[in-house]
Amino acid sequence: MYELLSKRIKNADGEPEVFTYNSFPQAFRNQVFYILEDGLEPYSTYNETWIDEGAALTFGDATFDQKIMDAHKLHVAIKVTEELLYDNAFNLESYIITQFGKALANAEEDAFLNGDDTGKPTGIFDATHGGHLLNTLFVNSEDIYLSLDGENVVASRGKQEMARYPLHILSGIVSFSYAGASPALMGACVQRDVSLAFCTPRGRFLARVSGESSGNVLLQRTQYRTADDPGPCCRIARNMIFGKVHNTRWSVERTRRDHGLRIDESAFSNASAQLRALLPQIAAETSLEQLRGLEGAGATIYFSVFDQMILGEKPLFAFSNRNRRPPLDPVNALLSFAYSLLTHDCASALESVGLDAYVGFLHRDRPGRTSFALDLMEELRPCLADRFVLTLINNRVVHRDDFQFRENGAVYLTDSGRKVFLTHWQERKKAELTHPYLGEKIPWGLVPYVQALLLARTLRDDLEEYPPFLWK
């Protein structure tokens, strides 16, 4: 295992080609990497002024900033004994290449993540110039067609243009429209690594647009070998389930802390104790089948008190059990929609670090299913999706008018309900927290990307164990 400097992510892979512009999420790039021709910024700093209609527009002197793009040099030296030079049984060339690769990889990724622009690149965790989340465009209307005009995404209804958005400010597009998108826009999204996903108006995932595979083939081969080996596969999967059960317990504990007078204290105390008792069993489990059983037991305990965690309008938001395809009540409609969005984010995060989102460890292979994204999502369900749904209900953000009740018993969000949901979802992703493993403040929306990076480090043997996201 290679130590993490200041508990931050580093790579010790020996594969320097993975540290390219394309290996980082789109949301990071504008802040991390920029090259200006001749060191000059090609635009002036802007100024804005309100003027009366018909009044003259005056211009001041334009000012241009200059940035010196110095080269950052990295030095690596390896010492070997003379005896080793003449030892025919030892592959010295392979050893030196590996050690050089690991040293360069460690230093480069530490700079790209933690660099302070002093003799090294600026990293995404830098307090002043670090990374930030770009926007996600959600197309909520069923009859909106998306196309490309120059560098803009154009949303049209029929032949009428309804809106346009600069493509460079987007990290992803999620369309709930049946009308679709133009091939030109799909190609532009692929070239710029803007994720593009299509869902039904009810939120069921349909497809994702992806171009030529840009993942790290060596990393993916390691992923495939791990998925086929029950031992290593179970070690990573159990840490994910450990994180899920831990987070469900702390969700229960948070409700006990914040609303102790409005719930059955003994029921919540028992549920918390049972979930806590599952943790050492999960940590010691070596069978995937038994692990799935423990995960199911934890979900049963958690959902047995979930209805009491809902403090909003009853019986509209009553919860009896988890159901889907279709959801049969408003709570399950909200949960299913949140899980669809979270799955999309996890799949994008995994692909951004070079992993295959379709080959999982806990969820087995199934054509068209992003099994690894579902694996990663497990530990994030309680803290990111479930708590978000509880907040919407308990803060009375959603109401009866936001749901459509079908004759067959199915319940779906209306167009206005989805709009309310998505608006608050984006705000939630921008909220900051301190990552429990890294000790760094990041937006909630970057948590899947950080966990995907940690998964990649684990598969490369940079970490002895995958550190799940343990929320409090």
pLDDT tens-digit profile, the chain (472 residues): 223 323 333 344 443 333 333 333 443 333 322 222 333 333 344 445 566 666 665 655 555 555 555 566 777 777 777 777 777 777 777 777 777 766 776 676 666 556 666 667 666 555 455 555 566 777 877 788 899 988 889 988 888 888 888 888 887 787 877 788 888 998 888 888 787 878 777 666 677 776 665 556 788 888 899 888 888 899 999 999 999 999 999 999 888 888 877 878 888 889 999 999 999 999 988 888 899 999 999 999 999 888 888 887 888 888 888 888 888 989 999 999 999 889 988 888 888 778 888 888 988 888 778 899 999 999 999 988 999 999 999 889 989 998 988 888 888 888 888 888 988 988 888 888 888 888 888 888 888 888 988 888 888 888 888 999 998 7
pLDDT, position 45: 42
Q: Which residues, 6 or more positions from 138, have their beta carbon under 8 angstroms from its beta carbon?
A: 174, 176, 418, 422
pLDDT given for residue 57 in this prediction: 58
In DSSP terms, which residues pair with 146 in a beta bridge?
Answer: 155, 181
Q: How far apart are CA 16 and CA 101, in angstroms?
A: 6
Alpha-carbon distance of 434 to 89, in angstroms, equals: 49
Alpha-carbon separation of residue 45 from 33, 61, 117, 151, 187 (angstroms): 20, 10, 22, 22, 32
Using DSSP, state whether 135 is helix, strand or coil: strand
Q: Is 207 left (phi over 0), alpha (psi -120 to 50) or beta?
A: beta
Q: How far is CA 378 from CA 29, 183, 238, 295, 388, in A?
A: 28, 34, 11, 10, 15
DSSP assignment of 292-358 equals HHHHHHHHHHHHHTHHHH--SSTTTT---S---SS--SHHHHHHHHHHHHHHHHHHHHHHHTT--TT
Strands 170-175, 195-199: pairing kind: parallel
What is the distance between the terminal CA atoms of the chain, rounded to a whole angstrom? 27
State the Cα–Cα distance between residues 223 and 221, nearest whole angstrom.
5
143 contacts: CB under 8 Å, gap ≥ 6: 157, 158, 177, 178, 179
Helix boundaries (H) for 137-229: 183-191, 217-228
**pTM > 0.85:** no
> Residue 242: what pLDDT?
93
Sequence-ordered alpha helix ranges (H) in 50-178? 82-85, 92-114
Given the structure tokens 């200041």, which residue do they identify?
6
Peptide bond into 230 cis (omega under 30): no
User: What pLDDT is stored for residue 19 in this prediction?
Assistant: 31
Nearest to 431 by CA among 443, 446, 423, 441: 443
User: Before 326, cis peptide (omega within 30)?
Assistant: yes
According to DSSP H, which parts of 192-315 are helical? 217-228, 230-258, 265-284, 288-304, 306-309
Which residues, including other chains, have CB under 8 Å from residue 276's CB and lie 6 or more apart? 249
**Tokens 């993490």 sit on residue:** 4
- Evaluated on CA atoms 197, 202, 203, 206, the torsion sign reads negative
Asked if 311 and 387 touch (Cβ cutoff 8 Å), the reply is no
pLDDT of residue 34: 27
Q: What integer pLDDT is reported at residue 46 of this predicted model?
A: 44
Of 351, 349, 352, 308, which is closest to residue 331 (Cα–Cα)?
Answer: 308
Q: Do residues 302 and 252 lie in contact, with contact meaning Cβ atoms separated by under 8 Å? A: yes
